[in-house]
Amino acid sequence: MTRALILVDVQKDFCEGGSLGVDGGAAVAADLSDHMDEQSGTYDYVVATQDWHVDPGPHFSDTPDYVDSWPVHCVAGTKGAEFHPDLDTEGIDAVFRKGQYEAAYSGFEGVKAPDDEVPSGERKLAGALPETDEPLLTLDDWLREHEVEEVVLAGLATDHCVRATALDALQAGYSVSLLTTLTRGVDPERTADTLDELEAAGVELLR
């Protein structure tokens, strides 16, 4: 069975010191690097998602409720949107950027970044993805092109973008598992409920 590791939003703004930092986010970045090194033969592909906001409307707020609205974060082309420096991006095969003009929690709402920006990290793209006559490749498109049947998720944050990506992966028909020690949530209680929800939905929790 062809297997892909999906790294969800391991970005500077979602780690300590970022505009929307999650406790333990930097440790997740470093631990994921170790995991990919130690388990390099386990995955056929490694892909990553990025929040990549241009003008996401009410998703950004000066008075956020931390449920549907949030402080400004991961603005396209800024340092905060880059992958955390402790995440080893060398082995990433493709990056999918989401949320240019909407909230877009799920990686399956993202479209493939240009090949010359994979791995990302330099401020090469200062706004929306470039206009093209070619159809934009989604995460689902890419996984199907590469005959992936099983996806393993890790990253940030458990109770938001990891949750949405996992549920969409299930709906799309993939076998889905979650590396629970390599993800962190925003709210501890919501995170615990999310893990129960994902397990009940059919996600295998790898502890």
H/E segment holding residue 47: strand 45-51
What is the rounded radius of gyration, in angstroms, for the C-alpha atoms of the chain? 16
Distance (Å, whole) CA 23 – CA 17: 10
How many CB atoms are located within 10 Å of the residue 118 CB? 17
Distance (Å, whole) CA 101 – CA 80: 17
pLDDT of residue 131: 55
pLDDT of residue 132: 52
All structural domains of the chain, each given as residue ranges with its CATH number in brackets, are 3-50+84-98+106-121+137-206 (3.40.50.850)
Q: Are 167 and 106 in contact (CB under 8 A)?
A: yes
Q: Write down the pTM of the prediction.
A: 0.92
Distances from the Cα of 206 to the Cα of 75, 90, 117, 120, angstroms: 32, 24, 31, 28
In 3D space, the residue among 18, 15, 19, 35 whose CA is nearest the CA of residue 27 turns out to be: 15
pLDDT of residue 116: 74
The token duo for 125 is 């793209």
pLDDT of residue 125: 43
pLDDT of residue 205: 98
pLDDT of residue 40: 87
In 3D space, the residue among 34, 12, 24 whose CA is nearest the CA of residue 158 turns out to be: 24
Catalytic residues: 9, 98, 161
pLDDT by residue for the chain (207 residues), tens only, comes to: 999 999 999 999 999 999 999 999 999 999 999 999 999 899 999 999 999 999 999 999 999 999 899 999 999 999 999 999 999 999 999 999 999 999 999 999 999 999 877 664 443 444 555 555 556 899 999 999 999 999 999 999 999 999 999 999 999 999 999 999 999 999 999 999 999 999 999 999 998
Segments in the chain forming alpha helices (H): 25-38, 139-145, 163-171, 188-201
Edge-first strand listing for the sheet containing 45-51 = 111-112, 94-98, 45-51, 3-8, 150-156, 175-184, 204-206
